Chains A and B, each alone.
Chain A
Amino acid sequence: AQKVTQAQTEISVVEKEDVTLDCVYETRDTTYYLFWYKQPPSGELVFLIRRNSFDEQNEISGRYSWNFQKSTSSFNFTITASQVVDSAVYFCALKTGFQKLVFGTGTRLLVSP
């Protein structure tokens, strides 16, 4: 069975602080895909990044970076110099086979001015 664990329920930081959101996944499949989505108060899930199981290179996109480590089954997400607009719920998700996404329970990030 596939499972995604986001142990951090809520994180509060002050603007400009760096913050890391943790994601641990479980799967027996050797081919899988990992995703991060952002859900602002409006409710719509916004795609941030995808990674396949064969690509362990870390990625940086502006203030966002992702650390994928198969050895620890983790796919962590770091926001550098956080901003108030980063306040949202962030979901990590796992996909094996075709199209079904398995989500974690999400981490609510609150960035205060």
Chain B
Amino acid sequence: DAGVTQSPTHLIKTRGQQVTLRCSPKSGHDTVSWYQQALGQGPQFIFQYYEEEERQRGNFPDRFSGHQFPNYSSELNVNALLLGDSALYLCASSPRPGTSGGTYNEQFFGPGTRLTVL
């Protein structure tokens, strides 16, 4: 049973560029959440997708956008990269909110993508 997978592992970009990060949820999960973890900080919620729509969003600018595909995998896109976007980006999967497993159960996290913006 594969866990949450993310690609790429590491990425180096320059300011102003655009980046796409990818996530495949754990088998049986249909909800994907994205978090940004700056160095020395706790993860910060970016947004959550299920049924191919953004359902919740944290305090992040519109430069951060996402997408969920019919197979539940997801992409995080960041446009016009800033130095401050350098961070570890974590994807988490879980059962759909409102289901018996969705409200209570923990989110399963992937290994993350480390983005460096120069």
A contact set with B: CB distance below 8 Å: 4, 33, 35, 37, 42-47, 50, 52, 91, 93, 98-106
Contact = CB atoms under 8 A, between A and B. Distances in A.
Contact of A91 (B33, B42, B97): B42
Interface of B: 31, 33, 35, 40-45, 48, 55-56, 58, 88, 90, 92, 94, 97-98, 102-112, 114
- SS class of chain A's interface: helix, strand, loop or mixed? strand
Given A99-B31, A100-B58, A101-B43, A43 B111 contact: yes
Interface centre among B31, B42, B45, B55 (most CB of A within 10 A): B42
A50 B106 contact: yes
B33 A33 contact: no
Contacts of A101: 33, 35, 43, 45, 92, 107
B112 A99 contact: no
A47 B108 contact: yes
A100 B33 contact: yes
Given A43-B88, A45-B90, A100 B48 contact: yes
Contacts of A102: 45
A50 B109 CA distance: 15
B111 A100 contact: no
Contact of A45 (B31, B43, B44): B43
Contacts of A45: 43, 90, 92, 109
Interface centre among A35, A37, A44 (most CB of B within 10 A): A44
A24 to B, nearest CB: 14
A18 B90 CA distance: 31
Contacts of B45: 100-102
